[in-house]
């Protein structure tokens, strides 16, 4: 049986926002559809991501300074494999998307986390194969291990190179993994400002644009005085800046440094 939407689409944008219509920021010839068997989709998508991902020159295992992806390959590859193997194939109108921006990679997979999985604590999610036959075949091909350690490996790889923690977001119809190409906040600073402030910082990072206080309140679902207190702590820690003409400027915004 053929599922028209059972494929992977890899796109690269030339700005940190997608834009729409005339302002759409997808680069020319940077929209790749990877079709065929699951193993072929993963292999072709991995090649496309490798070619399109943000890069820098760094010392590699070869002992030479060579171009390498800013976001570690093992992190985005594990995210890609998870998205393809565990997507909901009952949702026939959507496909797996890997969207590459100058400052992040977003991987969106149709369907929600299965069972009682808590997306707020992804490292605690135990193994649950939504598609056991696909998972078994991929394990036999050496693509996966069926040990339930994939998400934890994504976190470990991002921490290893000093990048921000991966962010999982669960919408009614899909799960999105965001891998940011920004440096992590030192543990001492994160402890100083507290988990609620870090949640606000993540919301600002994911928004990819300056936000007013009211917009931050809507995103995180906290009371305005609480949000203001945490924003002040983030500002004092040098993680965000406030930009406005006066203390009562209704157009004032907060942005990530």
d(CA 39, CA 211): 41
- pLDDT surpassing 90 at residue 223: yes
Residue 2 belongs to some domain of the structure: no
Q: How many domains does the chain have?
A: 2
Asked whether residue 25 falls in the same domain as residue 116, the answer is yes
Residue 1 belongs to some domain of the structure: no
Instruction: Give pLDDT, residue 190.
Output: 85
Domain that holds residue 122: 8-180
Percent of the chain with pLDDT over 70: 89
d(CA 56, CA 157): 17
Asked whether residue 244 falls in the same domain as residue 154, the answer is no
Asked whether residue 162 falls in the same domain as residue 236, the answer is no
Asked whether residue 191 falls in the same domain as residue 175, the answer is no
Asked whether residue 15 falls in the same domain as residue 66, the answer is yes
d(CA 77, CA 97): 13
Find the radius of gyration of the CA atoms of the chain: 19
Question: Of 18-27, 66-75, 85-94, 134-143, where does mean pLDDT reach its minimum?
Answer: 134-143
The last residue of one of the domains, among 180, 211, 236, is 180
């Amino acid at each position: 049986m053929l599922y028209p939407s059972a494929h992977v689409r890899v796109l690269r944008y030339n700005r940190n926002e997608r834009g729409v219509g005339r302002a759409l920021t997808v680069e020319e010839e940077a929209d790749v559809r990877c079709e065929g068997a699951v193993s072929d989709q993963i292999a072709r998508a991995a090649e496309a991501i490798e070619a399109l991902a943000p890069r820098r020159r760094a010392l590699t295992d070869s002992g030479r300074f060579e171009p390498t992806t800013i976001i570690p390959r093992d992190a985005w590859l594990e995210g890609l494999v998870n998205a393809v193997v565990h997507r909901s194939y009952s949702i026939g109108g959507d496909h797996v998307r890997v969207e590459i921006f100058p400052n992040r990679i977003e991987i969106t997979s149709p369907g929600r986390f299965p069972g009682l999985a808590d997306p707020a604590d992804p490292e605690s999610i135990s193994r649950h194969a939504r598609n056991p036959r696909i998972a078994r075949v991929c394990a036999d091909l050496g693509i996966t291990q069926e040990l339930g350690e994939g998400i934890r490996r994504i976190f470990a790889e991002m921490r290893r190179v000093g990048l921000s923690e991966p962010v999982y977001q669960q919408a009614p119809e899909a799960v999105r993994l965001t891998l940011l190409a920004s440096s992590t906040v030192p543990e001492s600073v994160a402890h100083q400002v507290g988990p609620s402030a870090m949640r606000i910082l993540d919301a600002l990072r994911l928004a990819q644009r300056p936000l007013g206080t009211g917009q931050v309140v809507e995103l995180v679902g906290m009371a305005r005085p609480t949000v203001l207190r945490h924003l002040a702590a983030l500002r004092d820690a040098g993680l965000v800046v406030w930009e406005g003409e006066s203390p009562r400027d209704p157009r004032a915004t907060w942005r990530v440094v």
